[in-house]
């Protein structure tokens, strides 16, 4: 199974500029910024400033007086402290979000959404789930596409090693498809329910054992409730109210226990 690559954050970019990353992580950062021109431009600008400061400091040591050398050192330290402050601001923002979620939970009780996404980037399989849902919306317009409403958990597990949850009796399965994904075969169910309307249930083995409670995020025009139980991750995608989606996803995960 493929190892999951953690999202590249601003902290990684600052550490890359300061030569503080191990080689493997540096390669991952470089692979990321190759496809993100705005990040690449920012990194290159910071690298140029860093190198100019180093050059100025080296020249000052050889030819300049004590005052010039001291100014170069102060400027270099100031740049380093600016990056440290930016990192601290990111950490503080995350801490405030987490604290706010606990306050909301205490004030609103069980009606509040209990899981808040602190990270700006959800797992990669969430993007795959949203893409699969987009495909579900397009498929009915293609009359040549075969739809398979039969939902057989045992057959799916035998073919993909993915354990699927038991669906409530009121849920209607309109289609069952196997999709390629970043991490191998995935399963996508097109479902219709009274609570969440038309939605997609996506399941995949993300390549890493973990336990993630139902977590809510919005991507494009869709709401997503994702979770992971052991080696299988699940994402419920649709336009339903986020609270209804949260309740439906929680019920599905509880059916696996």
Render pLDDT for 5-36 as a digit per residue (tens, 0 to 9). 677 787 788 788 888 888 888 888 888 888 88
Residues 180 and 240 in one domain: yes
Secondary structure class of 256 (helix, strand, coil): coil
Burial class (CB in 10 A: 0-12, 13-18, 19+), 220: exposed
Q: Does 176 score more than 80 pLDDT?
A: yes
- Rounded Cα distance between 122 and 136, Å, is 21
Torsion of the alpha carbons at 226, 177, 151 and 130, rounded to the nearest 10: 20
d(CA 147, CA 149): 6
Token pair belonging to 165 = 């949850």
The pLDDT value recorded for residue 80 is: 54
Q: Does some domain include residue 116?
A: no
152 falls within a domain:
yes
How far is CA 252 from its chain centroid? 21
The answer to whether residue 119 sits within a structural domain is no
- Of 63, 81, 107, which residue constitutes the final position of a domain? 107
Share of the chain above pLDDT 90, in %: 23
Which stretch of 20-34, 52-66, 194-208 has the lowest confidence by average pLDDT? 52-66
User: 246 pLDDT exceeds 90?
Assistant: yes
What's residue 14's pLDDT?
Answer: 79
Domain boundary, last residue among 54, 78, 107: 107
pLDDT at 119: 47
The larger pLDDT score, comparing residue 100 to residue 37, is at: 37
| CATH code where residue 229 lies | 3.30.200.100
Same domain, 78 and 21: yes
Whether the pLDDT of residue 70 is over 70: the answer is no
Which among 107, 136, 169 is the end of a domain? 107
Decide: 126 and 234 in contact? Cβ < 8 Å: no
135 and 57 in one domain? no
Whether 172 and 73 map to the same domain: the answer is: no
Confidence check: pLDDT of 89 > 80: no
Residue 247 — very low, low, confident or very high, per pLDDT cuts 50/70/90?
Answer: very high
pLDDT for residue 237: 94
Structure tokens at 229: 């139980």
pLDDT class of 1 with cuts at 50, 70, 90: very low
- pLDDT tens string 106-139: 554 444 444 444 445 788 899 888 888 887 777 5
83 and 138 both lie in a single domain: no
Q: How far apart are CA 171 and CA 168, in angstroms?
A: 6
What pLDDT band is residue 181 in, cutting at 50, 70 and 90? Answer: confident
Is it the case that residue 175 has pLDDT exceeding 80? yes
Q: Which residues pair with 211 in a beta bridge?
A: 229
Q: Are residues 223 and 154 in the same domain?
A: yes
In total, how many domains does the chain have? 2
Does residue 135 share a domain with residue 68?
no
CA dihedral 118, 120, 199, 153 (to 10 degrees): -70
Classify residue 179: in a domain, yes or no: yes
- Residue 45's domain comprises 10-107
User: pLDDT value at position 37?
Assistant: 80
Task: Indicate whether 199 pLDDT > 80.
Answer: yes
Q: Which residues contact 209 (CB under 8 A, 6 or more apart)?
A: 230, 231
């Amino acid at each position: 199974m493929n190892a999951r690559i953690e999202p590249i954050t601003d902290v990684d970019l600052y550490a890359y500029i300061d030569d503080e990353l191990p080689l493997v992580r540096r390669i991952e950062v470089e692979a990321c910024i190759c496809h993100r021109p705005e990040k690449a431009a920012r990194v290159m600008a910071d690298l140029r400033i860093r190198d100019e400061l180093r050059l100025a400091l080296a020249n000052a040591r050889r030819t300049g007086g004590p005052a010039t050398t001291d100014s170069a050192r102060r400027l270099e330290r100031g740049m380093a402290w600016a990056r440290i402050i930016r990192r601290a601001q990111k950490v503080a923002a995350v801490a405030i979000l987490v604290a706010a979620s606990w306050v909301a939970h205490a004030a609103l009780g069980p009606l509040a959404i209990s899981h808040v996404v602190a990270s700006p980037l959800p797992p990669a399989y969430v993007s795959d789930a949203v893409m699969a849902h987009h495909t579900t919306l397009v498929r009915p317009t293609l009359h040549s596409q075969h739809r398979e409403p039969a939902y057989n958990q045992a057959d799916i597990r035998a073919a993909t090693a993915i354990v699927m949850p038991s669906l409530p009796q009121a849920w209607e399965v309109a289609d069952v498809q196997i999709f390629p994904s970043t991490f191998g075969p995935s399963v996508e169910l097109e479902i219709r329910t009274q609570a969440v309307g038309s939605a997609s249930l996506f399941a995949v083995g993300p390549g890493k054992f973990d336990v993630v409670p139902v977590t809510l995020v919005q991507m494009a025009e869709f709401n997503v409730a994702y979770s992971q139980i052991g080696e299988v991750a699940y994402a419920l995608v649709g336009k339903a109210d986020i609270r209804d989606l949260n309740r439906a996803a929680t019920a599905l995960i509880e059916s696996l226990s």
